A and B are shown apart, each in its own frame.
Chain A
Amino acid sequence: MNEQTVKIVDIKKLTSRIKSFRLVSANGKKLAPFSPGSHVAVEITLEKKVRRNSYSLCSSPYETDFYEIAVLLAEKSRGGSQYLHQISVGTELNIGFPKNSFTLASLARKHILIAGGIGITPLLSMLTTLSRYQTTFELHYTAKSQTECAFYEFLKQKYGSQVTFYFSEKDERLSSNKILKEQPLGTHIYLCAPHSLSDNFYAEARALGYPDLAIHREIFGAAKTNNKKPFTVVLSQSGKEITVPKDKTLLAALETAGFPVNYSCRVGGCGACELGVLAGEIHHLDSYYSPEERAKQNCILSCTSRAKSKQLIIDL
């Protein structure tokens, strides 16, 4: 069993579109401990279809009796966040075990955390640890306004001058150059923000000479691409051919055709849905592989990536 059963014991409305949920174990088993930056997959059943949405654990890793997650009601919700926003205290949920693809660098001498909106969630558990170890850190947090800024009072009270807020309604903007320049050796950056902001900080950091491994990113949404073309895949073991329409992912197309593939985040960040590719040109849209791995053209993350050629032969 790869799950934990939890019960919601508290729901708080943090902003007009963000709610936080406190979860405790529902079956007497202890909750699994987690490292800062971790997330859990929450199982949501809608119209008989089971989906799993991942949410960062924003509670303290040192609190072993409960988890806290915060959920943004997405504008174009596929149903997951909508569902969570209308359930009540007492509801039981099945969740996975904590996973972490956004860890703190233990040898860093300084940590700079950048949060955009709901991106604050994984950084909250990191802050608890950084503060406990008395490491040097700064948090830069952008939101629409103070009332739309989740955890504003908590952060201001607990971390004081180590947090800087930027409210876009007041035209306060983050300057990546100003924040990243002239930082000491051993500085690491942690980005959890919308693509444009995250990409901007990444580019500025590289331009300033930050080594690639000092820049850590957590991506909440899949990479956007305007040019989605349909393509076909041939399953090498059976010879079966499946069409992937332009509005469906390879993963979804395989699932519909009766070929369930392992998956987790479904946004190209974790690698669980990886499939081997034997022929064809892959259009990588993930945020998981290294440039070298992409160049090998022999594997694909089926939840996000597509094909440049008309057909791919996959190892299935």
Chain B
Amino acid sequence: MRSVPQPTKLQFDLSGSQHLICVTSEVIDVIYTRLEELEHIPQNIQILQLGETVKARKDWKIEQFNSVENLQKKLREILERAYIGTRFYAIGSAQFIYDVENCARSFGMSEEEISLEVFDSKARRVYCSTCHTINYPVSTNLITCSGCGIKLEIWEHFSRLKNAYLGVCADAENPGDLL
């Protein structure tokens, strides 16, 4: 059982019949490169991109969204009609990955059907064990929770379901004493 995520690289599963990709505009080029690396580029590809860019390639079916809520709305519409055999991919920040993977899982998609890649693994999501708020982005090992204000020590324990690390009160014994 792993407590810490193994950094994963987005991998196309060619046994899938349909490929749905969610990506942030900063890393769209990564998708193009990865697709072109494949011996056989799969047919049914749909790309949902967060962030609008001028240079949209004509040869891929890409839809651009100005907000994550709009992207999620479209994503849910697609997932509602999608058939099993579909594969789901997401690449972007930890927050973005969580926002879209959550949708895919709510429609019954499993780890076997999902491939993710986090860009900028320095920006972590941290789950406060006291008030359950997700703190993001976190790049240190000690933070103040944005939800309840307590000092959180970030443990090397990661939840795949929440896509977040566990944050535990650092000075529970003696508030203010962080030794």
Complex-state Cα separation, A211 to B111, whole angstroms:
9
Q: A247 at the A/B interface (Cβ < 8 Å)?
A: no
Number of A-B contacts (CB under 8 A): 52
Q: Mark A103-125, 1 if CB is under 8 A from B, else 0.
A: 00001110000000000000000
Are A109 and B108 within 8 A (Cβ)? yes
Are B84 and A186 within 8 A (Cβ)? yes
**Contacts of B1-51 to chain A: CB distance below 8 A:** 15-18
CB < 8 Å: which of A181, A183, A208, A211 contacts B110? A211
Are B109 and A186 within 8 A (Cβ)? yes
Complex-state Cα separation, A143 to B37, whole angstroms:
49
User: Which size bracket describes the interface of B in this complex?
Assistant: 10 to 19
| Majority SS at the chain A contact face | loop
Are B17 and A185 within 8 A (Cβ)? no
CB distance from A210 to the nearest CB of B (A): 6
Are A212 and B84 within 8 A (Cβ)? no
Complex-state Cα separation, A209 to B13, whole angstroms:
10
Q: B79 at the A/B interface (Cβ < 8 Å)?
A: yes
Q: Mark A176-189, 1 if CB is under 8 A from B, else 0.
A: 00000111111100
Give the residues in chain B near A182, CB-CB below 8 Å. 83
Q: A158 at the A/B interface (Cβ < 8 Å)?
A: no
Give the residues in chain B near A30, CB-CB below 8 Å. none
Q: B107 at the A/B interface (Cβ < 8 Å)?
A: yes
Give the residues in chain A near B137, CB-CB below 8 Å. none
Are B110 and A184 within 8 A (Cβ)? no
Are B112 and A208 within 8 A (Cβ)? no
**Chain B residues proximal to chain A, CB less than 8 Å:** 15-18, 79, 82-87, 107-110, 112-113
**Chain A residues proximal to chain B, CB less than 8 Å:** 107-109, 181-187, 206, 208-214
